[in-house]
A = this chain, B = another copy of it.
């Protein structure tokens, strides 16, 4: 097969590629992630690149996503381009999936574990050295010593360590013991007694967008170094549905599995660089991820998740070994994967609920993770109920004309000055703006609404900002940034369709809270606490999220943001077998609602399609402030 050289610009990275290879994959191999929101189906138009030199085999021409002029200029959809010769490809900023911002997105969650009693620990074994009269095998000798535990399991890898561990320490050794959640115990390692060393666990959060790993010291309970990276599966689709579709094609499942394994192995390398030698002493891995990520990580076919009646292959996971899943750790190291509740309420949410501590508090709490797939939990120490809510991609920049993920160049801050009828903006990375991220969209809509530039239906009020509102190709639009001040070659605008999409998304979440509360005979007014988990929470402006009706109107002190609650939950379970048992209890006791099957959800949804809501009694202060502004 012919091999060509593809050079990516402006990165100036060259890589060899074979004829017929897809451009997104060639870029991924070179460490460059191109947006492919739709999973390479050619239906989202987010992967625009420019053929600067040479040739590619482009399988779609001008049309919905490319004007004839753009096509003429060399603009192509990377997902439809296949290597057909040497080429120089320019990846514009808006088509990049940039990892840098995520590296700072982790809030330092407070990890507090009551009982530091991990499922792996070391125990001392003092054996009598063998003699001519007593020459039974090492393993038999050990079992005689542990006679009160006849069913103690033994990993082969541990058995391999046994003879030298015994002989280096005059038959006094340390045995690393793993207590399976079901109660069975097995030896997973041996070392000579001589030098005390800490035992570690690795806590991992596999998010659809990012993957995080943290070293946890099982002796002190302290958090070690943590590192995050963009989920390498992102070049095969941005959301879980496109990943599931990709998994169903050829060896898609194996490739997705390999990507996330590579992710974790790279994070392990970074952690080991911070803490040399720790890898050999990692004795447990705890992973939390949503249901789809859990399937893709274990290599279990996820296809039934997206087919009615939305049944995953597994919600609980058997204990496995990290090495069996491809992690570069000792072969005997066990891996625990958080249980899911349902196809769309996954182990990340169970971990988040554990981290939130709502399961042991009397206050009626709402726990949410905002995203394309939003998850909602309400309850307290006595009961919990949950639902997944298909909010659509607006929170992650999808379905929005200039939407993008929270990456450099994204408009995320926005302030409207009614007197001057103009706005100021903040951009991630202090670069020239190239788009709008989800939290930016919320801020823009909230500010424009409070200034009277948007009405309660989400329509522009032209006279409130006559210089900025104009007719665009998709109806009325608001000029956020003229072309000359952007990092693009065109104006950045907000359209009424964008606003509609956000209203639909926030309405889906809010009506979810209402439905869940109603299902247990309660109303919004009964809520005492709101806990926000997940990656999106950190950049959320609480006031603006209430203003648009995404969050319920409550005093600020009732809200808590707990950072990467999935990673925190994984950490807690690594530190304590009791916490892991608690996770299982949370999964088992949480009632899952299918919102689409729940009568009343649609009514709530319809009445939420308003800013902040048709029921203004739910947002009295917001309405009062609005009224005051109008005067």
Contact = CB atoms under 8 A, between A and B. Distances in A.
Interface residues of A, number: 51
A140 B340 CA distance: 11
B315 A137 contact: yes
Given A132-B597, A159-B298, A310-B135, A140 B315 contact: yes
B163 A342 contact: no
Contacts of A143: 316
Interface of A: 130-132, 134-141, 143, 151, 153-156, 159-160, 162-164, 167, 182, 184, 298-301, 303-304, 308-318, 320, 324-325, 331, 340, 342-343, 594, 597
Q: Which secondary structure characterizes the binding site on chain A?
A: loop
A140 B310 contact: no
B159 A313 contact: yes
10 contacts: A132-B309, A137-B311, A137-B312, A137-B314, A140-B315, A143-B316, A151-B184, A156-B318, A159-B298, A184-B184
A317 B138 CA distance: 11
Nearest to A140: B315
Nearest to A135: B309
B159 A311 contact: no
This chain: how many copies in the complex?
A: 2
A148 B299 CA distance: 28
A593 to B, nearest CB: 12
A303 to B, nearest CB: 8
A170 to B, nearest CB: 14
A139 B314 contact: yes
B594 A132 contact: yes
B156 A308 contact: no
Nearest to A183: B151
A316 B184 contact: no
A132 B300 CA distance: 22
Contacts of A151: 182, 184
Contacts of A131: 309
Contacts of A159: 298, 300, 313-314, 317-318
A153 to B, nearest CB: 7
A285 to B, nearest CB: 14
A345 to B, nearest CB: 12
